[in-house]
Chains A and B, each alone.
Chain A
């Protein structure tokens, strides 16, 4: 796509640089002149928010590393030292811990937005799959970071999650022992998790570059799902998208700050302020809230191997979404039936999250099973069939027509 303006630096230094490394032109065409659909709503600001959150996590993480000790006898103590003694340590750690939650909240909104507006459809399949990869990397990174605190929840989360691999027939046990570097979760485990927790955010940053690259090849989707057809349908990224992104990012930060300053432990678990004890499992263990829906799916199935497969499948299935959704119409605006199934899907996902936090007994198990069935049915039954049977509403001729009416 060609932008409405071309980069022509005035300064002699920039002209000199541009001849040797055209980075100014790349930035200009990607973030200034880049044409964005004129009808983007606030749901489209979460890409920017996510980049910002990744930056927050990397910066606070690097700083926390300067004070943290990845050793079983010292890890918990060093975290407490950060909280009590290190200058602004309490703030840095609370920003990092709540930042993870805000990062996941943003990614879930971003993903639901993608599903609602059909952003994964041709030609954006690779863009979507890169997003699924980023999400998987985020989950691993978040999990390993949580373990570093080395409280009771950390230790038992590490035990339960690594034990998921023991469900693999035959080679499960050797794999688990290899992951641990011992006969149980211990110092080698903590050390390697620390190493990987430091590495993976930079891998995420690398995949984010690919994600943005793929985005800039296909262009952004928009609330109508109709591709821009003329210059009337688009606006330059700066100032229009830049300001909109920045404004909503500031709003998001207010919520973030409210968590950090007023309820910093609201999303955590009191048990994680007890040092890790390999001899006692806490009576009620649950993962962080952003893993709860998957945890509920795991527990809904009364067989170990099938439960683990369902847990993995519930995430992997997202990568196949571009081919499971057979409808040629992208946006839910013009898909009345899909819209209802979509909101039911949102309710089911949130419901699974709630059930994941409840003990696995009685009505909770039954509900979790019903919701799990819907979760998978949405992808492998409803979406393929809707493309065949749904009567969609007429699409607007162009983005500008949908915004300004037919008179434009």
Chain B
């Protein structure tokens, strides 16, 4: 049996509304697989150089697209979700301010190493408590949801965090990029359910690629950290927390996950999502179109400022970005919970 051409499939689809042509799925599958393999190849080949270029190009834009996506998911009136959103925004603000102040606290040099670890563990515990509170508030809205297991799970995580605060923080660095894949999964379930199976098959490739990367790179020599920028990149990937692991492996794996993260927010979700007019709080008669437009324009200006900063002083801008960017990491939690 010969395959249908695109035009034949289109004609057939017009006559049969239930017919779903498989061409987009195949294209989607191909794009996802090629993206994963290409990201892994570049991340393994030149981790430091690609990391610098990737961050410069995509860090700011991905935050802008993320902000736009969150605005799209924000209801016009909170209604029954009022407590949830109040908790989400209050926690977001408090945790972000606390995190941004940590470098200043550290530079005050009033703390021993042990006390500093306790401070980090305290912030991580506050994060887990906030997440637990959001899960509890969300579960009250979903009567069928059985999320009580999250309480002991959260306590176990908090316990592990107190045993190794640095390791826990490093785990967050590596887990955060994967959250974007979860967002895409939930979004496909709503908008392109026929693609979901294909997408999840593609995700099966991820552990395989990671295993190959670890196998290939575990024996490699450490990356040079002779200058401040390279040192920052290796430290961010956990070279100090895991001194026995090759920094080449650490940077490559982290970069690989970050590239997937950027690809989801900048390419996948906008293509599937929609245009600016779909932001409910902007298009609704009782909405805030000017506020939304102002926010997005301000964020766009922020992207330009970030590019300018990277051009002038890459290392310092990188430090500032990764400190302030904790806000977008935290913001993902409530919006993901709303999609569960």
Pairing of A with B: no
Residues on B lying within 8 angstroms of A by beta carbon are none
